[in-house]
Structure 1
Amino acid sequence: MPPRRSHKKSRAGCRRCKSRKIKCDEVHPRCGNCLKHGVPCDFEHPELTESLNIPDTPGSFGAPSPSFSNLSSGFSPAPGPSVAARTLLTICRNPDPPAFSAASKNNRLMELKLLHHYTTMTCKTLTICDPSAENIWRDTVPSLAFSGNSFLVDALLSVSALHLRAISPHDQQLVQASHAYMASTLSDYGSNLSKGINASNAEALFLTAALIAFQSTASRIFVRDNGGDVKSRSNQYTLPLSWFHAFQGVKAVVASSWQWLRNSGIVVPIIQGQPALNLNLSSQESTYFANLLVGLDGELESLESDPASHMLTRQAYQHAVAVLNWAHKIPLSGAPMVFLATVSRRYVELLQARRPRALAILACFFGLLKCLDGVWWLRGVARREVLGIVHMFDPDDQVWWPRLQWPLRVVLHDGDVIPPEVWGADWEAESVLLDQANRQNGGGFINHIEMLSQMFAAMQNLPPGLPADTVNYAYSGAEQLISAQLVMARQEHGFSNGSRAGND
Structure 2
Amino acid sequence: MAPRRSHKKSRTGCQRCKRRRIKCDETHPSCGNCVKHAIACDFSLSTEQLRAVSQELHSPSQVATTGQVIPSSSAPSPATPLPPPVPTVPQSSASLPTTLAPIHQPNLNVLDLSLMHHWSIATWSTVSNRDDVQQLWRLNIPTLATQHAFLMHAVLAVSAMHLHSTTTCASARNRYLTAASQHHERAVRGIAPCLAHISRDNCDAVVATSGLVAIYSFLTSRIAEIGPADAAANTLTPIGWVPLLRGVHSILEQAQSWVHHGPLSPLLAHPGHALTPDKLDAETERSLQSLYRLCTDLSLPGADELAATDVSTAYFSAIAELRKSFATISKWDSIVSAIFRWPIAATDRFVQLLLERRPRALVIFVHYCVLFTLVEGFWWATGSARFELERCEAILGLEWRHWIDWPRKQIMEGRGGFTEVGS
Q: TM-score, normalised by structure 2?
A: 0.64
* Equivalent position of 1:292 in the other structure: 291
- Partner AA of 1:159 in structure 2: V
The Cα shift of 1:291 comes to 0.8
SS of the residue aligned with 1:387?
A: helix
* Equivalent position of 1:431 in the other structure: 422
Q: Structure 2 vs 1, CA of residues 176 and 191 (structure 1 numbering), >3 Å: closer, same or farther?
A: same
Q: C-alpha offsets along residues 42-87 of structure 1, whole Å, 9 cap, x if unaligned?
A: xxxxxxxxxxxxxxxxxxxxxxxxxxxxxxxxxxxxxxxxxxxxxx
Q: 2:347, 2:322 → 1: CA distance?
A: 12
SS of the residue aligned with 2:179?
A: helix
Verify the 8 A CA contact 1:159 1:178 in the aligned structure 2.
yes
Q: 1:236, 1:153 → 2: CA distance?
A: 26
* Equivalent position of 1:344 in the other structure: 347
* Equivalent position of 2:368 in the other structure: 365
Q: Structure 2 vs 1, CA of residues 135 and 328 (structure 1 numbering), >3 Å: closer, same or farther?
A: closer
Pairing 1:51-70 to 2, within 5 Å after superposition? none
Q: Say yes or no: does 1:260 pair with 2:258.
A: yes
Verify the 8 A CA contact 1:251 1:341 in the aligned structure 2.
yes
SS of the residue aligned with 2:255?
A: helix
* Equivalent position of 1:480 in the other structure: none
SS of the residue aligned with 2:109?
A: helix
- Partner AA of 1:250 in structure 2: V
Q: Say yes or no: does 1:154 pair with 2:153.
A: yes
Q: 2:185, 2:114 → 1: CA distance?
A: 19
Q: C-alpha offsets along residues 418-457 of structure 1, whole Å, 9 cap, x if unaligned?
A: 4xxxx54221xx235xxxxxxxxxxxxxxxxxxxxxxxxx
* Equivalent position of 1:387 in the other structure: 390
Verify the 8 A CA contact 2:366 2:389 in the aligned structure 1.
yes
- Partner AA of 1:119 in structure 2: S
Pairing 1:22-101 to 2, within 5 Å after superposition? none
The Cα shift of 1:244 comes to 0.5
Q: Say yes or no: does 1:272 pair with 2:248.
A: no
Q: Structure 2 vs 1, CA of residues 330 and 351 (structure 1 numbering), >3 Å: closer, same or farther?
A: farther
Q: 1:110, 1:310 → 2: CA distance?
A: 49
Q: 2:294, 2:122 → 1: CA distance?
A: 48
Q: Structure 2 vs 1, CA of residues 182 and 138 (structure 1 numbering), >3 Å: closer, same or farther?
A: same
Q: 1:184, 1:234 → 2: CA distance?
A: 23
Q: Structure 2 vs 1, CA of residues 218 and 248 (structure 1 numbering), >3 Å: closer, same or farther?
A: same
RMSD across aligned positions (CA): 3.2
* Equivalent position of 1:228 in the other structure: none
Q: 2:233, 2:121 → 1: CA distance?
A: 41
The Cα shift of 1:140 comes to 1.2
Pairing 1:299-314 to 2, within 5 Å after superposition? 302-303=304-305, 307=309, 309-310=310-311, 312-314=313-315
Q: 2:308, 2:291 → 1: CA distance?
A: 23
Verify the 8 A CA contact 2:291 2:319 in the aligned structure 1.
no
The Cα shift of 1:180 comes to 0.9
Q: Structure 2 vs 1, CA of residues 385 and 354 (structure 1 numbering), >3 Å: closer, same or farther?
A: same
* Equivalent position of 2:243 in the other structure: 245
SS of the residue aligned with 1:377?
A: coil
Q: Structure 2 vs 1, CA of residues 244 and 310 (structure 1 numbering), >3 Å: closer, same or farther?
A: closer
* Equivalent position of 2:219 in the other structure: 218
Structure 1 gaps, min length 5: 1-101, 226-232, 433-504
Pairing 1:223-234 to 2, within 5 Å after superposition? 223=224
Q: 1:139, 1:120 → 2: CA distance?
A: 11
Verify the 8 A CA contact 1:363 1:389 in the aligned structure 2.
yes
Q: 1:183, 1:202 → 2: CA distance?
A: 20
Verify the 8 A CA contact 1:248 1:341 in the aligned structure 2.
yes
Verify the 8 A CA contact 2:150 2:209 in the aligned structure 1.
yes
The Cα shift of 1:162 comes to 0.9
Verify the 8 A CA contact 2:370 2:417 in the aligned structure 1.
no
Q: 2:364, 2:330 → 1: CA distance?
A: 16
Q: C-alpha offsets along residues 385-420 of structure 1, whole Å, 9 cap, x if unaligned?
A: 21222233344x2xx333211121122226xxx4xx
Q: 1:274, 1:329 → 2: CA distance?
A: 11
- Partner AA of 1:387 in structure 2: E
Q: Say yes or no: does 1:163 pair with 2:156.
A: no
Q: Structure 2 vs 1, CA of residues 301 and 402 (structure 1 numbering), >3 Å: closer, same or farther?
A: closer
Q: 1:121, 1:287 → 2: CA distance?
A: 41
The Cα shift of 1:310 comes to 4.3
Q: C-alpha offsets along residues 327-373 of structure 1, whole Å, 9 cap, x if unaligned?
A: 56668722223223222221111111211111011111222211211
2:179 pairs with one of 177, 180, 189:
177
The Cα shift of 1:223 comes to 2.9
Q: 2:294, 2:238 → 1: CA distance?
A: 26
Q: Structure 2 vs 1, CA of residues 372 and 208 (structure 1 numbering), >3 Å: closer, same or farther?
A: same
* Equivalent position of 2:410 in the other structure: 410
Verify the 8 A CA contact 1:363 1:404 in the aligned structure 2.
yes
Q: TM-score, normalised by structure 1?
A: 0.54
- Partner AA of 1:267 in structure 2: L
Q: 2:171, 2:397 → 1: CA distance?
A: 36
The Cα shift of 1:218 comes to 1.8
Aligned length: 302
The Cα shift of 1:173 comes to 2.3
Q: Structure 2 vs 1, CA of residues 200 and 234 (structure 1 numbering), >3 Å: closer, same or farther?
A: closer
* Equivalent position of 1:97 in the other structure: none
Q: Structure 2 vs 1, CA of residues 103 and 365 (structure 1 numbering), >3 Å: closer, same or farther?
A: farther
Verify the 8 A CA contact 2:145 2:205 in the aligned structure 1.
yes
Q: 1:324, 1:287 → 2: CA distance?
A: 16
Q: Structure 2 vs 1, CA of residues 114 and 310 (structure 1 numbering), >3 Å: closer, same or farther?
A: closer
Q: Structure 2 vs 1, CA of residues 113 and 245 (structure 1 numbering), >3 Å: closer, same or farther?
A: same
SS of the residue aligned with 1:379?
A: coil
SS of the residue aligned with 1:293?
A: helix
